[in-house]
Amino acid sequence: MSEVKKKFKFRVPNTYLLIFSLLVLIAAMTWIIPGGQYERAVIDGREVVVQNSFKYVENQPQGFIDLFISPLKGFVEAGLIIGFILFVGGSFNVLAKTEAINSLIHKLARAHKNSKLLQKLFIPVLMLMFSLGGATFGMNEEIIPFVLIIVPICLALGYDSIVGVAIPLVGAHVGFASAFLNPFNVGIAQGIAEVPLFSGIGYRIICWAISTSVAILFLLWYINRLAKNSKVSPTYQQDEERRKNEHFDDVYNQENHFTVRHKAVLITFALCLVMIVVGVIELGWYIEEISAAFFIMGVVVGIIGGLKVDEFTKAFIEGAKDLVGTALIVALARATLVISRDGQIIDTVLYNLSPYIQSSSPVFASQKMFVVQAIINFFVHSGSGQAALTMPIMAPLADLAGVTRQTAILAFQFGEYTNIIIPTSAVTMGALSMAKVPWEKWAKWVLPLMIILFLLGLVLLIPPNLFGWQ
């Protein structure tokens, strides 16, 4: 009987098959859903949707050839992110070859073991930092390099890969969705909705603090379960293999050689991160500049670490090669947007979802906005892109429903909670791939948190409607 059960046990397909199946589904939808299009206008350098301009257009169903072309188009459109991933992978492997990271892991592991204060603060402080990054300067793609650092540290400290990827991924995404100074979602949405820039910051800070606290408490609850029984981890087996192969099991016993050269390498790395933060906030840096910064960092730490030219080149190529799979996942994730856009169904979906927002109660209307934004986020998970697409429509709808535009913007923000789980997000899938965590295992783990955050979003939308938040 047990053999029969084992034979017919349901297995979630691997990540590549999952995303491709999603592509097939969206392609099929382009044959069923009629084509539609809103007119666009450029206002203050941004392309926005013109209210009441929707019209049905000739259908553009995506056929067999289109289906297989879409990943190539996705690769091209996500070229910056893919290039960023490959350059970061190469640079970080050069950093790894200097042995500075391993030395740091050994030192941190010993400190963590001997300090109860560090044990209590390590996870909350790190997660708080990433959440603050998402809430202020829109930290998103920037989390990817940190996955390569934090996951090994967490494995060395006795946690699992889930914890290692959750710290930057959940932290930054929750901060992004409940942001108070993020120019890429709050700033653009307020500009389109004609609301004073970064107004309403008080209540947004409250929302951010509550959301971040919930995420941290959820992770601490899981860590407590993990401490009692390590086998509750969805990645238990693969983590055990990784610990053995990378010798994390000997981390407390090996003599630590944390040399001056190692310290110089890590200081260079830290200065690189500081430069990137300043560049993003003050100079408007994006992926090109950040990629260049990491590349420069790789060259400099290679020199400081005493690597020869051949050793540097080999390390860089190997690091980039290890992330080719991640690059393909990002391309496939972006292809979902490509095929839905080429099929001209995104605007149609938005147009047909809009009437469902109307309600006799402003509270229900704003909550339905949140749900609609979460659905749209599945297709358009760029904060700035979604703001440009939806806010020209949502702002007037909010007026009709008795919802303040400030509240409508908050509902739009909360829709991005789903970024922590949706397989169409290139950043999420890229981070999981780097952490070697299959999406299906991640989804199983993060789904309870996703439900909690969804319910939290519904609750947090009530006070603004009761007090007429402007």
pLDDT recorded at residue 4: 43
Average pLDDT, stretch 335-347?
86
Q: How confident is the model at residue 212 (pLDDT cuts 50, 70, 90)?
A: very high
Portion of the chain with pLDDT greater than 70, in percent: 91
Q: Which residues contact 156 (CB under 8 A, 6 or more apart)?
A: 105, 106, 108, 109, 248, 251
pLDDT recorded at residue 12: 47
Q: How confident is the model at residue 256 (pLDDT cuts 50, 70, 90)?
A: low
Answer yes or no: is pLDDT of 30 > 80.
yes
For the chain, what are the domain ranges?
33-51+62-77+99-258+323-466
Q: How confident is the model at residue 3 (pLDDT cuts 50, 70, 90)?
A: very low
Distance CA 81, CA 89 (A): 12
Q: Which residues contact 293 (CB under 8 A, 6 or more apart)?
A: 272, 275, 276, 279, 285
Answer yes or no: is pLDDT of 221 > 50.
yes
pLDDT recorded at residue 385: 72
Mean pLDDT value across the chain: 84
Answer yes or no: is pLDDT of 381 > 80.
no
Q: How confident is the model at residue 2 (pLDDT cuts 50, 70, 90)?
A: very low
Give DSSP secondary structure letters for 49-64. EPTT--EE-------H
Cβ atoms 377, 442 nearer than 8 A:
no
pLDDT tens-digit map of 391-408 = 877 887 888 688 899 999
Average pLDDT, stretch 453-467?
95
Which residue, among 173, 192, 188, has the nearest Cα to 432 in the 3D structure? Answer: 173
pLDDT recorded at residue 15: 67
Cβ atoms 352, 336 nearer than 8 A:
no
Can you give 372-423 as a three-state secondary structure string? HHHHHHHHCCCHHHHHHHHHHHHHHHHHHHCCCHHHHHHHHHHHHHHHHCCC
Centre a 10 Å sphere on the Cβ of residue 1 and count the other Cβ atoms it contains: 5
Answer yes or no: is pLDDT of 350 > 60.
yes
Which residue, among 192, 181, 190, 194, has the nearest Cα to 47 in the 3D structure? Answer: 192
pLDDT recorded at residue 44: 64
Q: What pTM was computed for the model?
A: 0.75
Q: Rounded to an integer, what is the distance from CA 391 to the centroid of its chain?
A: 22
Centre a 10 Å sphere on the Cβ of residue 118 and count the other Cβ atoms it contains: 14
pLDDT recorded at residue 13: 52
Average pLDDT, stretch 293-322?
88
